[in-house]
Chains A and B, each alone.
Chain A
Amino acid sequence: MSLLQVKKMTHYFGGLRAVYNYNLDINPGEIHGLIGPNGAGKTTIFNLITGIYTPTEGDILLDGKSIKGMRPHLIAAAGLARTFQNLRLWRYMTVLEHVKLAHYSKITYGLSGAFFNTRKRSQEENKITQKSMELLKLAGISHLADTVVTNLPYGAQRRLELARALAIEPKILFLDEPTAGMNPEEMLQMMDIIRKVQRQFNLAIFLIEHRMRLVMELSDRVQTLVFGEVVAEGLPEEVRNNPVVIDAYLGKEVET
């Protein structure tokens, strides 16, 4: 059974049809790429599945259960983590605090623990701290744990977003342009990290990316989205050589 299934999803912003008849099937451990020109609706699809918008039509199933219309934090707690295209870090918090906070749904000490600093709370906080440090090590930024994020270099901020998303112990990870703004070297490092975490946690990954090299090397399957509709779908090589995709990216040759 597939892990994440989207059936005939359609969404309108007022009169604008942003996504039309979108279908998706992701199996555990699979990396699925989504490409398409700017404004095609890729991020909208992310926002629809993660619960920021509720789709006008269609259904979304995670592990066979419908998550359509659920509030975003519950969808996230159900095992669907994401990173953002333009970094969304909390600017006055330290690196460690970011990763710790992503454990929010697993906190059991409750308000009484928060107010009165019970023993249960300190035990739980210590456990969370340990787990977070391991994730930071995995992302290669454990030495920056106590740095406030505004002082971090860009690449480290991207890695932190990834570590933070992993902290919710996801079954599937949504990456929205994970290498945007990175130089080629940083991109290669990021690819390594993505591969590493995918293997280590047997994660399914749903990836939006503009860099063809990254998409083609990482993905098991690729979809191409143009104006909210999927125009091509299949193995990376198939999609790369599909004339419709080339048209969408480069435009049609005009016969003179």
Chain B
Amino acid sequence: MKPPIDNSTPTPRKGIRRLWHSFRQLFAQTPLLGWLFGFLLASILENLIGYPLARVLGLSKIPVLFGVDIALKTPLLLPATLLYDLIIYIIPLFLTVRYLTPFANRLAAWLLRAPMWVSALIHMALLFLVLYLWTGINDYRVLVAKLMMVSIIITLSLNVVNGYMGEFSCSHPGFIALGAYIASIITVGFFVGGNLKFVILPAYLAPLVFPLALILGGVVAALGALLVAIPSFRTRGDYLAIISLAFMFIVKSMFENLEILGGARGFGDQPNLATLPVVFIWTMLCIWIINNFVQSTMGKALNAVRDNELAADAMTVDTRKTKMVTFLFAAFWAGIAGGLLAHVIRYVNPGTFGLQKLAEVLAMVYFGGLNSVIGSIVGAIGYNLLSEMLRPLELIKWLIIPLLLILVMIFRPTGLIAFREFDLHKILQPKIPAKMEEVENVPPSS
């Protein structure tokens, strides 16, 4: 089968292959802890010398998202941004990975001797530190990071219904809108006043009331989900899609016609409560709870309902209850995300929660991967980063992103990282160096 051309030029391929192998070997040995150290170093470096370096390289400011936006706007600055990325990100990362890996491995192993949550918390704290330092450079990065985390919550919650349970729900923008408006009404009504005014409470209470407002938004979204679920879960398949789509439009036009909430103009002035740590904590909480749920035997019932409902029934699974609980649960988290979103942007507008939002959310779920927590995280981060980086291209952006989606659908029909469990232990554990010889002996695949 193999054409003879392959043998005529073995040397360069082998060289590249070997280089690639050693490259991968180097990185395969690095635990998550090592990567976090690397990014931490890069962020510290950027905080210290980022600005002067950017000036020396002829950039007017620090490149926000790895310089992609600058390079797309003025391609002539591409070498400068590349050099910037090299000095600030790639070299520190490479050096940490090269020299700190044994230490990181030992540390990771040592941390795992304690209960896993200790190690998980330390990793999370490091991750937050990296995020905090990296976004400390300018406000745009803060916004992008917050929106990205809100997207993770939205994507995960929709994945629970569309991926794990295999129903096709389109009402997520509606739930997000409910959460956004309810949480905004409470925070604006109690702490800002204006058109809506209940009692103005002292400002120091705001951070305490905010979680309650979010939860109330989530609960209202879940109640909305109940309205969708009762008529539609007696049937299967397309009906839920249609009813949930209708629900989304009903919610949208309801807020468009509520003059007290600003109608179609929307309403703003939300207090600045969704700070980076707040959004970060909610996101981690969401990932933790949803991951717990889908890994329990109760959560596996979702997969059973999706793959064969009749068999699920015959094996004592209460399919109706499973579907209801799951749908309400997903709506609850969409509501929470909505509340956070409203306080990140500090403005809500019914127009935001329409078809375009739906397309975006669905794209993130299917791009990242069905039935996978990690997939949803990757999907949300990937989509958001891509969308922000390609912003200078304006219209062309809407050619590139759909094209990418199509490619993903062709080559990985269920998404990038589908049907994979989020195994915390595997992520946190030290990486034992693999044997180099084994890799060498593998014959090159055709």
Where the two chains meet, the residues of A that have a C-beta atom closer than 8 Å to any C-beta of B are 50-52, 71-73, 76-77, 81-82, 84, 88-93, 97, 100-105, 107, 109, 111, 113-117, 121, 125, 128, 164-165, 167-168
Contact B307 A73 (CB under 8 A): no
A221 to chain B, nearest CB (A): 24
- Give chain B nearest CB distance to A84 CB in angstroms: 7
B311 on the A face (CB < 8 A): yes
Q: Which residues from chain B contact A92 at a C-beta distance below 8 Å?
A: 303, 307, 371, 419
Q: Produce 1/0 per residue, B178-213, CB < 8 A to A.
A: 000000000000000000000000000000000000
Give the top 4 A-B pairs by smallest Cβ distance, nearest first: A105-B316, A88-B311, A90-B307, A72-B313
Stretch at the interface among B27-35, B83-91, B317-325: B317-325
Do B296 and A121 touch (CB < 8 A)? Answer: yes
Within 8 A of A (CB), among B248-289: 289
> B131-186: which residues lie under 8 A (CB-CB) from chain A?
none
- The total of chain B residues at the interface (CB under 8 A) is 28
B304 is contacted by which of A51, A101, A109, A114 (Cβ under 8 Å)? A101
Tell whether, in the assembled complex, residue B313 and residue A73 are in contact, meaning their CB atoms are under 8 Å apart: yes
Cβ-defined contact, A102 with B316, below 8 A:
yes
Q: B292-349: which have CB < 8 Å to A?
A: 292-293, 296-301, 303-304, 306-308, 310-320, 325
CB of A117 within 8 A of CB of B292, answer yes
Q: Report yes or no: B307 in contact with A104, Cβ–Cβ below 8 A.
A: no
Q: Which chain B positions have C-beta within 8 A of A84?
A: 310-311, 314
8 A-B residue contacts at CB 8 Å?
A71-B318, A73-B312, A104-B301, A114-B298, A114-B299, A115-B289, A128-B297, A165-B314
Provided the pairs A88-B308, A92-B307 are in contact, do residues A115 and B316 lie with their beta carbons within 8 angstroms? no
Q: How far is the CA of A81 from the CA of B313 in the complex (A)?
A: 10
A114, B307: Cβ atoms closer than 8 Å: no
Residues of B within 8 A of A (CB): 289, 292-293, 296-301, 303-304, 306-308, 310-320, 325, 371, 419
Q: Which residue of A lies closest to B319 (CB)?
A: A73
> CA of A104 to CA of B312 in the docked complex: distance in angstroms?
10
- Contact present for A104 and B316 (CB under 8 Å): yes
- In the complex, the answer to whether B292 meets A116 with C-beta atoms within 8 Å is yes
Cβ–Cβ < 8 Å partners of A90 in chain B: 303-304, 306-308, 311-312
Contact indicator B311/A77 (Cβ below 8 Å): no
Note all chain B residues with C-beta closer than 8 A to A71: 313, 318, 320
- Assembled-state Cα–Cα distance A125/B295 (Å): 11
Q: A88-B308, A88-B310, A115-B292 are in contact. Are A100 and B316 (CB under 8 A)?
A: no
Contacts of A76 in B (CB 8 A): 313-316
How far, in angstroms, from A52 to B308 measured CA to CA in the complex?
14
The answer on a CB contact under 8 Å between A101 and B292 is no
Q: CB < 8 Å: which of A73, A125, A128 contacts B318? A: A73
Residue among B306, B313, B320 facing the most chain A CB atoms (10 A cut-off): B313
Q: Are A100 and B300 in contact (CB under 8 A)?
A: yes
Q: Tell me how far the C-beta of A143 lies from the nearest C-beta in chain B, rounded to whole angstroms.
A: 21
Given A114-B299, A115-B293, does the pair A77, B371 have CB atoms closer than 8 Å? no
Complex alpha-carbon distance, A97 and B306, angstroms: 15
Q: In the complex, which residue of chain A has the Cβ closest to the Cβ of B166?
A: A92
Q: How far is the CA of A248 from the CA of B52 in the complex (A)?
A: 94
| Inter-chain contacts of B301 with A (CB < 8 A) | 101, 104
CB-based contact B307/A100 at 8 Å: no
Q: A103–B297 contact, CB under 8 A?
A: yes
Task: Output the residue of A77, A88, A111 with the most chain B CB within 10 A.
Answer: A88
Say how far B296's CB is from chain A's closest CB, in angstroms. Answer: 4
**Residues of B with C-beta under 8 A to A82:** 314
Knowing that A73-B312, A104-B315 are A-B contacts, what are 19 other residue pairs whose CB atoms are under 8 Å apart, sorted by A's residue number? A51-B313, A52-B310, A73-B319, A76-B314, A81-B314, A84-B311, A90-B304, A92-B303, A97-B297, A97-B300, A101-B300, A101-B315, A102-B316, A104-B301, A104-B316, A107-B297, A113-B298, A114-B293, A128-B297
How many Å from the CB of A75 to the closest CB on chain B? Answer: 9
A90-B304, A93-B303, A93-B304 known; A107+B298 contact, CB < 8 A? yes
A116 touching B314 in the complex, CB below 8 Å, given contacts A90-B307, A100-B300, A107-B297: no
Residues of chain A within 8 A of B371, CB atoms compared: 92
Tell me which residues across on chain B come within 8 A of A51, comparing CB atoms: 313
Inter-chain contacts of A91 with B (CB < 8 A): 307
In the assembled complex, the Cα of A91 lies from the Cα of B311 at a distance in Å of 12
Tell me which residues across on chain A come within 8 A of B314, comparing CB atoms.
50, 72-73, 76, 81-82, 84, 88, 165
Which of B292, B296, B319 has the largest count of A CB atoms less than 10 A from its CB? B296
Shortest Cβ distance from A115 into B: residue: B289
